[in-house]
Structure 1
């Protein structure tokens, strides 16, 4: 408890978590399985950007697969799966969130090098180096997430006797363990990537506005601008609210400051911002399409191949109406690719 005089009622979070996590599970499972299939089996040409995207999709999928346990817990409000599964689900949550942040940062840095320093960065922007960076990201996020499982993650509610998973920790646990973990993941997993994303995007915009680049293809410049816009919107929308609230929540739990109005506001905002952060599993596939020409070409080529197979032999199913619909879809994909 934060203070004997402060209201800490936040039971609404269980319904919010259950509904949000259920939606994220369905959409995230489908979209990320499709993304991994495209990256693994459909793409004929892979580059460093698709390497980062593949690892991002794998991170999202691993987290999504742990959601049924959390959904059951939020519905029943009792954790029957034991301490080990609780540790795994919590570790995967933070691994996914900060892994997503770091992989998105890698994509941003890669775009910065390709546009601002296109010549000397050729030796850096290789698939081999991208794989090394991905391994470093996985090691970093696991190093930051694993300490959360070093202490008991399950507990018992005093009023009902039900088991809990990674909640209702005493203030001493927050002061000695969790607050230190929060400091590490906030600095390494959020503030540094945020600065890098904003800096890289700013430098790319400045480069595009130089006289040398003003004469380039306007459609290409529009595409880059939309890529940057979508990237920053998803990054800021999903991660900034939660991480700012997490800092305030940590200050509240360690009793560095106690103000009942702020305590109520933070306890209300924390579940909401956490649900927004979890939704990044559904938004990441948008990043895949808007960032990669390879994926766009793959989708268009796939649609053309399906048209050829579908109408290879004249038959009633290959009517003018079907052909027109597929042609319109193909044209839409081509126009979308030009204007992204």
Structure 2
């Protein structure tokens, strides 16, 4: 009896320590990510014309990150108190916003890679494609896609909460008996976007080696390759593990913590994408042209 009691106390202490660690992790991401993304969005909107496809993609990426950061406060409260007072609808919304961040971030980062690919490898032939109008159409399609997928996912998730009478959120007492078909959407999407980023990175790297060897443009070349390296790192570290973890019967919380960190690193992508990130609109446009070649 004493051994059972000691085991229960140890399990409870370990669970409390783990929950405190999650609360600290999500709180840290929120503390860093909120001001960084808010400042990045303000700079992109106030100092850069939204006539550049890259600027349009980055604005939407910043919006996606801000939506994620706002929901982290609810995760902090849950893991700090162990209670979820907001009901199942709020739980579904918070979960969908996290999934949407992974999906839209992977799509917008891929759009940025594709835009750089066209600008570097096909600078003349791609001018009619790299327009603000086409960029907004692509962005609208991406948001529409994730919202359409959210509808059946939300219904399925709500049924799960009602069926097992789950009164908490993020950490559930029950496991689903199988893997729903909708669970394959995110892994397939992330893997497809990763493949596009890998191909883009290879093509741009080969082009930069053969065409941009003059020393005057080395700095810009390094910036361009840093963008692609960061994009691949985002997929390998933040997007892919949490997307594939649906097939593993274990807690997703550590991977969700890790994936949420992506919103703190996206501002670096904006900085390396624009030599003139802090400059006024006219100067920034010139800098963007110089970076992409």
Hey, what does 2:168 align to over in structure 1?
164
SS in 1 for 2:277: helix
Distance 1:139 1:16, change over 3 A: farther
Q: CA deviation at 1:51?
A: 0.2
Asked if 1 retains the 8 angstrom alpha-carbon contact of 2:34 and 2:66, the reply is yes
Q: Deviations over 1:56-92 (max 9, x none)?
A: 1111111211222221111222211011111111111
Hey, what does 1:286 align to over in structure 2?
268
Distance 1:18 1:96, change over 3 A: same
2:223 and 2:78 mapped to 1: Cα distance?
A: 43
Hey, what does 1:271 align to over in structure 2?
253
1:203 and 1:287 mapped to 2: Cα distance?
A: 20
Hey, what does 2:155 align to over in structure 1?
150
1:121 and 1:273 mapped to 2: Cα distance?
A: 38
Distance 1:52 1:91, change over 3 A: same
Q: Deviations over 1:215-239 (max 9, x none)?
A: 4732322222222223322332222
1:155 and 1:79 mapped to 2: Cα distance?
A: 15
SS in 1 for 2:127: helix
Counterpart selection for 1:52 from 34, 54, 57 = 57
Hey, what does 1:179 align to over in structure 2?
180
2:51 and 2:80 mapped to 1: Cα distance?
A: 42
1:293 and 1:233 mapped to 2: Cα distance?
A: 21
Q: CA deviation at 1:284?
A: 0.8
Counterpart selection for 1:76 from 57, 75, 81 = 81
Q: Deviations over 1:154-181 (max 9, x none)?
A: 46999xxx8212543644x452xx5322
Distance 1:294 1:94, change over 3 A: same
The count of corresponding residues between Structure 1 and Structure 2 is 270
Larger Rg: 1
User: Equivalent residues in 2 for 1:104-115 (5 A)?
Assistant: 104-115=109-120
Counterpart selection for 1:92 from 88, 97, 105 = 97
Distance 1:49 1:17, change over 3 A: same
Q: CA deviation at 1:290?
A: 0.9
When the two structures are superposed, what TM-score results if normalisation uses the length of structure 1? 0.71
Hey, what does 1:198 align to over in structure 2?
198
Q: CA deviation at 1:296?
A: 4.4
2:112 and 2:58 mapped to 1: Cα distance?
A: 8
Instruction: Say whether residues 1:141 and 2:134 are aligned partners.
Output: no
SS in 2 for 1:28: helix
Q: Deviations over 1:175-216 (max 9, x none)?
A: 2xx53222111112x110010111101110111122x43347
Q: CA deviation at 1:128?
A: 0.6
Instruction: Provide structure 2 residue ranges, at least 5 long, that are not aligned to the other structure.
Output: 1-10
2:118 and 2:50 mapped to 1: Cα distance?
A: 20
SS in 2 for 1:290: helix
Hey, what does 2:5 align to over in structure 1?
none
SS in 1 for 2:36: helix
RMSD: 2.9
Distance 1:174 1:15, change over 3 A: farther
Q: Deviations over 1:261-280 (max 9, x none)?
A: xxxxx54xx43222110111
Instruction: Provide structure 1 residue ranges, at least 5 long, that are not aligned to the other structure.
Output: 1-8, 253-265, 303-333
2:59 and 2:177 mapped to 1: Cα distance?
A: 35
Counterpart selection for 1:297 from 269, 275, 279 = 279
2:116 and 2:79 mapped to 1: Cα distance?
A: 40
Asked if 2 retains the 8 angstrom alpha-carbon contact of 1:99 and 1:137, the reply is yes
